[in-house]
Structure 1
Amino acid sequence: MSGIATISRPLPLSLKVAAGLVALAALIVPVGSLAAELDLPVPAAVVYPGQSVADRGVAYKAFIVKDEKLPLYVIEDEILVGQVARRTLLPGKPILLSDLKTPDLVRAGASVTMVFREGGLIITGLGTALRSAAEGEIVRVRNADSGIVVSGIVEADGSVRIHG
């Protein structure tokens, strides 16, 4: 024991009621969460993976979006230009930025040109892409002559730059 005496008294009913109301209000009213009604671009028709949303048609629909969730959504149809669907998009549903990707320049199973550059030396060869990839992504390629699998980065022209 610390030598300090405590006397316990019951709390007044009004204080108990006030504490209960404060606790209830904290559950009902979120603090710092704001929302806005926005017209967001939505697909006008079903968009399948690899298809352009802009080419399939875009409409606008009103949604209530919380402020902290707003950066997750496509808010202007200009964002859709040059992008394709990563997954199936349904008509009338908002589009998440994560639902979009740049189109694949290299398709799985397709022949690609592998390019190795070191100083003034340039070596090219043919290979088969083992997966689809967009510009700037790393892709594995099986060399058509040796069967060896190498990794490289997809270039804007669809070739694969091999590292040394």
Structure 2
Amino acid sequence: MKLRRPGSRTRFIGMALALLAGVAPLRAGELAVVTNRVVYPGETIAAAMLEEVPLVRGNRKLGPIFQQAGQLHGKVARRTILPGRLIPPSSVRDAFLVQAGAPVEVTLVDKNLVITVTAMPLEAGAAGDVVKLRNIDSGRVFSGVVMTDGTVRVGAS
């Protein structure tokens, strides 16, 4: 029977999730990204709002935080971010490419068949999100995946 320290599995899972999100736990001597002013929920983060500062070792353990300003540029604040404070990944989200109520181009690709229609999104979504849409002509509701170019792709069923 192998003995483990308490919480080692939890720390491992937390670090694995942080690495998948593109951020890593910091150590003393490394840089951390902070804002130079208050950023309010829903506000897009610009490069001019960010500063990279050296991390000072404290008594508490740090979770995942952003290390490079480029990782935060263009993201949207989920909650109020105070100046000089470390920014965890849960405080930001990707910008929405599709807005609810704004018509969007929807494409269905199935082998050699390509169908393109205009639909009305019922919810906002960022790249990779699944959103519900309403066909403007028929009124039917369906789901599609938001692409990086702001269109929505639907799979054949």
User: In structure 1, how many angstroms separate the alpha carbons of the residues matched to 2:68 and 2:54?
Assistant: 12
Residue of 114, 121, 128 corresponding to 2:106: 114
Amino acid at match of 1:93: R
Residue of 128, 141, 144 corresponding to 1:149: 141
More strand by proportion, 1 or 2?
1
User: In structure 1, how many angstroms separate the alpha carbons of the residues matched to 2:67 and 2:60?
Assistant: 13
Change (3 A) 1:39 1:123: closer
User: In structure 2, how many angstroms separate the alpha carbons of the residues matched to 1:64 and 1:148?
Assistant: 56
Q: Which residue of 2 aligns with 1:27?
A: none
Q: Which residue of 1 aligns with 2:11?
A: none
* Structure 2 unaligned spans of 5+: 1-26
TM-score by length of 2: 0.69
Deviations 1:105-125 (A, max 9, x none): 101221111111111111111
Q: Which residue of 1 aligns with 2:10?
A: none
User: In structure 1, how many angstroms separate the alpha carbons of the residues matched to 2:68 and 2:46?
Assistant: 11
Deviations 1:12-51 (A, max 9, x none): xxxxxxxxxxxxxxxxxxxxxxx74765321112223343
- Asked if 2 retains the 8 angstrom alpha-carbon contact of 1:111 and 1:127, the reply is yes
Q: Aligned with 1:78: secondary structure?
A: helix
> What percent identity do the matched residue pairs reach?
36
Larger Rg: 1
Residue of 132, 136, 139 corresponding to 2:128: 136
- Asked if 2 retains the 8 angstrom alpha-carbon contact of 1:154 and 1:161, the reply is yes
User: In structure 2, how many angstroms separate the alpha carbons of the residues matched to 1:92 and 1:103?
Assistant: 23
Shift of 1:101: 2.2
Q: Which residue of 1 aligns with 2:115?
A: 123
Amino acid at match of 2:117: G
- Asked if 1 retains the 8 angstrom alpha-carbon contact of 2:47 and 2:69, the reply is no
Change (3 A) 1:47 1:137: same
RMSD of the alignment, in Å?
Answer: 2.5
The within-5 A match list for 1:35-54 is: 36=28, 40-54=32-46
More helix by proportion, 1 or 2?
1
Change (3 A) 1:158 1:39: closer
User: In structure 1, how many angstroms separate the alpha carbons of the residues matched to 2:48 and 2:30?
Assistant: 22
- Asked if 2 retains the 8 angstrom alpha-carbon contact of 1:50 and 1:103, the reply is no
